[in-house]
């Protein structure tokens, strides 16, 4: 019976340890504070503006002003609420407090203020790299005969000679 008591005690310790680990999850209020100091609502505005520009190009028949309200005040609240569980899943309450402290610091605030411009510049660099990389790879494929001069697979329907109109083979 001593082994049974020991196993029960060990099981109880495991349950208690698991319970304390669950207690370390950040509260919704902590995550909301973190999102505020990270200026997440402003990031939603940037996302909204990018999406509105894209949709205006794709659907010119719809006024651009229509898309400007895609992420409105209600949308910001809904999106924030939807994101909270992800933060709670990946960060402990202690880590969220550390992040809040960092983002409230001068360096954290500089990161928040400079991140949109930094990401825009990085995206441009990534796009430029991607265009060059694609061109280089297409050139290699063309040189190796895998692609034709128009960047298509040789012998595809676009390159083949049309069949005779009577439907019979050549």
- If you average pLDDT over residues 72-81, what whole number do you get? 92
The Cα-based distances of 150 to 40, 131, 154 in angstroms read: 44, 16, 10
Distance of CA 55 to the CA centre of its chain: 19
At 86, list the tokens. Answer: 């992800």
- Position 45 scores a pLDDT of 87
CA atoms of 37 and 3, how far apart (whole Å): 52
CA atoms of 66 and 153, how far apart (whole Å): 42
- The domain locations on the chain are 24-104, 106-152
Question: Quick one: DSSP state of residue 26?
Answer: P
CA atoms of 144 and 147, how far apart (whole Å): 8
Residues 6+ apart with CB under 8 A from 87: 26, 31, 34, 35, 96
Long-range contacts at 101-110 (CB < 8 A, ≥ 24 apart): 103/34, 103/37, 103/38, 104/37, 108/37
- For 86-134, write each residue's pLDDT tens digit: 999 999 999 999 999 999 999 999 999 999 899 889 989 999 999 999 9
CA atoms of 133 and 8, how far apart (whole Å): 61
CA atoms of 35 and 91, how far apart (whole Å): 13
The Cα-based distances of 88 to 9, 30, 81, 94 in angstroms read: 30, 9, 12, 11
- For 25-59, write each residue's pLDDT tens digit: 999 999 999 999 999 998 888 888 888 888 988 99
């Amino acid at each position: 019976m001593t082994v049974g008591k020991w196993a029960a005690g060990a099981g109880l310790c495991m349950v208690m340890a698991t319970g304390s680990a669950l207690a370390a999850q950040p509260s919704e209020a902590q995550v909301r504070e973190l999102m505020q100091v990270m200026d997440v609502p402003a990031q939603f505005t940037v996302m909204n503006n990018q999406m509105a520009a894209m949709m205006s190009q794709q659907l010119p028949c719809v006024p651009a002003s229509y898309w400007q309200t895609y992420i409105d005040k209600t949308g910001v609240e809904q999106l924030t609420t939807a994101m909270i569980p992800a933060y709670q899943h990946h960060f402990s309450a202690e880590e969220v407090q550390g992040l809040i402290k960092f983002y409230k610091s001068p360096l954290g605030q500089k990161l928040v203020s400079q991140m949109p411009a930094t990401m825009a510049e990085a995206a441009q660099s990534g796009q430029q790299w991607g265009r060059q990389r694609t061109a280089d790879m297409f050139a290699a494929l063309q040189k190796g005969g895998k692609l034709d001069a128009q960047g298509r697979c040789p012998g595809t329907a676009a390159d083949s000679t049309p069949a005779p109109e009577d439907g019979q083979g050549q």
